[in-house]
Amino acid sequence: MALFLMLVAVYYSFSALIPNEISTIDTPENKFSTHRALIHLKEISKEAHYLGSEAHTKVRDYIITELKTLGLESQIQEGYAFDDNGNLAKAKNILARIKGTEQGKALLLLTHYDSDPHSSFGASDAGSGVVTILEGLRAFLSTNKAPKNDIIILFSDGEELGLTGANIFVNKHPWSKNVGLVVNFEARGSGGSGIMFIETNQGNANLIKEYVKANPQFPVGNSLFYSIYKTFPNDTDSTVFREDGDIDGFNFAFIDDHFDYHTALDNYQRLDRNSLEHQGNYLMSLLNYFSETNLSTLKSDQDNVYFNIPLFKTIIYPFSWIYPMAILALLIYIALIFYGFKKKILVGKEISKGFIALVTSLIIFSVIGFLLWKGINLTYPHYSEILQGFPYNGHDYIAAFVCLAIAVSLFVYHKAFKPDNVANLLIAPLGLWLIVCIGVAVKLEGASFFVIPLMFGLLSLFVLIRQTKPNIILLALFAVPCLTIFSPFLQLFPVGLGLKIIVGSSALAILMFGLLISVFGFFKHKKRWSFLFVFMFLYFMISAHSSSHFSKDNPKPNSLLYILNTDTKKANWLTYDRVLDNWTKNVFDENPQLASALNDKIIDSKYNSLFSYAKEAPLKEIDEPIVNIINDTITNDVRSIKLSIIPQRCVNRIELFSDSTNVFTSFKANSVELKKDLKSQNKDRLLTYFVADDAPLELEFSVPKNQKTSFTILEASYDLLNNDLFNIPERESYMIPKPFVLNDAIIVKKIIAID
């Protein structure tokens, strides 16, 4: 019965994270319907719709039409903006507004409608957000009830290219001054639970209290997640609202099936319908609540610890409790040890066995896990082609490593277990968890809710000391907080951070096992249980192996580029792939040349990827850009220049480089000042310009009058596969374009020298 209770706790720890049914087309008009939202999604995810593409315009027109159908008048905000990395783009935001009955702060519903260049269909990222808002607005407006607060709707543009649309809205649109709260919808994969992240510069206390009052049905989020989220290289539009406008917000994003992120697999078919249902549930709860709530009272200088747990949903308590709770746990731990020795239940020799078993379990698993993961990467080198760091069979590996951790724990502990020494064996894991809780109280306050399972572990120790034959069902109940809080982390950590942390994340299972010794200690045949988990480990490893190859459903990402140097009159084929396949071998030899010499000008990419292989290519007649110097004047010792780079073909982006020894006293591109500190510039890349509306790149800059300034430009188009000058075969069915890098591109390299 105790085992059944613990299995139920694990099951509910996952099932409570996401709806298991989706709303149908027959759902009442005033309710969100995932089926109705999918009708929109099918339309807007037909093609890749990155900024500057024809499909991008179609999606924008579709959204405007749907807003009009809802009775909302929309407007377009246009403008250029730089991000901190030097990405420049012209965004075209779609805006609408529902007037409220009172003159207070406005609620802003936010998502972006552009997909990632150049092959992603953007169904999840962020088509799911677009259709969530469209369907949510339809349901909300069907009640014919005017909200108290104005509701601003922003479908931003250029999010994938540096949060451009959010930038121009927050910094240039008058409506931004009235925004009191942002509710943003995002995705970093094509499935999984929608996780709530808070965006605030101040304390989160009032935000999380009001969030709890909004009462979403399946809340997922905790104060630890946001601490981790801030370390990711992926900001979202809501980050701009926080940083530039000091506007608080909630960011909802699902992150599972990470292998689909920014790829051609981010399509209508692959989107998890339950994830979309979850986003809709969030939207309706928060829209109904915050459209009626005073948004001027959300600021706070206090922080709360918060975490979700089945039945109780979201639990919150103030940061001011962190140290008292940690100190209380320490005092209880010490008191129970003294009490146990007084009762002659605790014995030093038996306690030492517990410490030896815990440390041995961690060491053995860490060594085996490390070597195993190294072996996996050597055996399957093609996993490195998935730049997200999470292969298609990643969930099998998570399950395998967790089973291995439990098997090691059971095997090591089985000799130390005796019916009368369970309390002794619990001392070591409680002590380790106490150190962890004190550590996070000092260094990672958002994780301070770890003390809750520790408290129940201390309660179990008290029962074990008091009773020679404790009620195992009661002890299983005390294990529920540990299982429900920590079990999802075993999956969420490697999914969100990549399988590179799988050994560390799976070691959490050993720490959990330690807290559950109060129950496992009374199980018979622990060695047999160990063999069972070894069998399960082997099963998941075999399953992972059987799905380790690429297929039509799990295709291999690959890359190919053609670069023409107009100054040297040489051309090369380039690839980012480390493992060549049949498609890339059409171009490269069996022993291709390393591309290190061609990585001197690093093309901007999410993970700073470098070319792996190169091969000399035939010269093609490709039109190079024209450079027109519009103005060139000298005032005192400063030379001011304005020039225009005009493509002579249809291009999608322009990379601009300048040697780091060059000095710029000012620099503008398309009338926008470059955000980089040009005086301390330590990288050659100045900017990446994403072209829209065939607009040229206009530069205005000032330099010392005697400086010989030069630029290197890489002008790229995404048409390598359909350009008449080339005869590149289509990819095979088990291949897709590699994301996060410039791909399927024709690049023209040119030096601009200004004497």
Q: Which domain holds residue 477?
A: 320-546
The residue to which tokens 């000399």 are assigned: 616
pLDDT at residue 577 tops 90? yes
pLDDT one-digit tens code per residue, 454-467:
999 999 999 999 98
pLDDT at residue 172 tops 60? yes
Is residue 576 domain-shared with residue 522, that is, in the same domain? no
Is residue 222 domain-shared with residue 342, that is, in the same domain? no
pLDDT of residue 335: 97
**How much is the CA Rg of the chain, to the nearest whole Å?**
29
Is residue 564 domain-shared with residue 538, that is, in the same domain? no
The mean per-residue pLDDT over the stretch 728-749 comes to 95
Q: For residue 230, what pLDDT band results from cuts at 50, 70 and 90?
A: low
Is residue 693 domain-shared with residue 572, that is, in the same domain? yes
**Helix, strand or coil, per DSSP, at residue 746:** strand
The answer to whether the beta carbons of residues 332 and 461 sit under 8 Å apart is no
The answer to whether the beta carbons of residues 486 and 512 sit under 8 Å apart is yes
11 domain-assigned: no
Q: In Å, what is the CA distance from 506 to each residue of 399, 405, 538, 698? A: 9, 7, 16, 52
Share of the chain above pLDDT 70, in %: 98
The answer to whether the beta carbons of residues 330 and 506 sit under 8 Å apart is no
Q: Which of 527, 546, 565 is the last residue of a domain?
A: 546
Residue 687 corresponds to which amino acid?
L
Q: Using CB atoms within 10 A of its CB, is residue 261 exposed (0-12), middle (13-18) or buried (19+)?
A: buried
Is residue 595 domain-shared with residue 715, that is, in the same domain? yes
Domain holding 137: CATH number?
A: 3.40.630.10
The DSSP 8-state label assigned to residue 124 in this structure reads I
Q: For residue 105, what pLDDT band results from cuts at 50, 70 and 90?
A: very high
Number of other CB atoms surrounding residue 269 within 10 Å: 10
233 domain-assigned: yes
pLDDT of residue 674: 87
**Cβ neighbours for 186, distance < 8 A, ≥ 6 positions apart:** 111, 125, 126, 129, 236, 237, 251, 252, 253
Instruction: Find, among 484, 260, 502, the residue nearest to 395 by Cα.
Output: 502
The mean per-residue pLDDT over the stretch 475-487 comes to 94
**Cβ neighbours for 274, distance < 8 A, ≥ 6 positions apart:** 18, 19, 20, 21, 22, 191
**Cβ neighbours for 28, distance < 8 A, ≥ 6 positions apart:** none
Any long-range contacts for 137-141 (C-beta under 8 Å, 24+ apart)?
A: 137/70, 137/72, 137/109, 138/36, 138/70, 139/29, 139/30, 139/31, 139/32, 139/33, 139/284, 140/30, 140/284, 140/287, 140/288, 140/291, 141/70, 141/71, 141/98
Is residue 150 domain-shared with residue 297, that is, in the same domain? yes
Is residue 624 domain-shared with residue 725, that is, in the same domain? yes
Number of other CB atoms surrounding residue 540 within 10 Å: 20
1 domain-assigned: no
Bigger pLDDT: 524 or 211?
211
The mean per-residue pLDDT over the stretch 407-414 comes to 92
Is residue 138 domain-shared with residue 79, that is, in the same domain? yes
Number of other CB atoms surrounding residue 570 within 10 Å: 13
CA 401 to chain centre: 23
Separation of alpha carbons 660 and 602, rounded Å? 13
pLDDT one-digit tens code per residue, 90-101:
999 999 999 999
pLDDT one-digit tens code per residue, 138-152:
999 999 999 999 999
Mean pLDDT value across the chain: 93
The residue to which tokens 């024709």 are assigned: 746
Number of domains in the chain: 3
Opening angle at CA 656, ends 635 and 751, nearest 5: 80
**Helix, strand or coil, per DSSP, at residue 61:** helix
Separation of alpha carbons 541 and 533, rounded Å? 12
Is residue 504 domain-shared with residue 564, that is, in the same domain? no
CA 267 to chain centre: 18
Tokens read off for 168: 């121009």
390 domain-assigned: yes
Separation of alpha carbons 515 and 477, rounded Å? 12
The mean per-residue pLDDT over the stretch 65-92 comes to 95
688 domain-assigned: yes
Q: Which of 256, 284, 309 is the last residue of a domain?
A: 309
pLDDT one-digit tens code per residue, 342-355:
999 999 999 999 99
pLDDT at residue 680 tops 50? no
The answer to whether the beta carbons of residues 155 and 93 sit under 8 Å apart is yes
Q: Which of 546, 563, 583 is the last residue of a domain?
A: 546
Is residue 635 domain-shared with residue 496, that is, in the same domain? no
Is residue 333 domain-shared with residue 390, that is, in the same domain? yes
- Greatest Cα pair distance, the chain, in angstroms, is 92
733 domain-assigned: yes
Separation of alpha carbons 373 and 395, rounded Å? 14
Q: For residue 520, what pLDDT band results from cuts at 50, 70 and 90?
A: confident
569 domain-assigned: yes
Q: In Å, what is the CA distance from 309 to each residue of 12, 449, 609? A: 9, 11, 39
Core vs surface per residue 293-306: b (16+ CB within 10 A) or e: bebeebbbeebbbb
Is residue 542 domain-shared with residue 633, that is, in the same domain? no
9 domain-assigned: no
Which residues are bridge partners to 186 per DSSP? 253
pLDDT of residue 545: 97
Instruction: Find, among 171, 180, 2, 167, the residue nearest to 82 by Cα.
Output: 167
Opening angle at CA 73, ends 276 and 166, nearest 5: 60
Q: For residue 595, what pLDDT band results from cuts at 50, 70 and 90?
A: confident
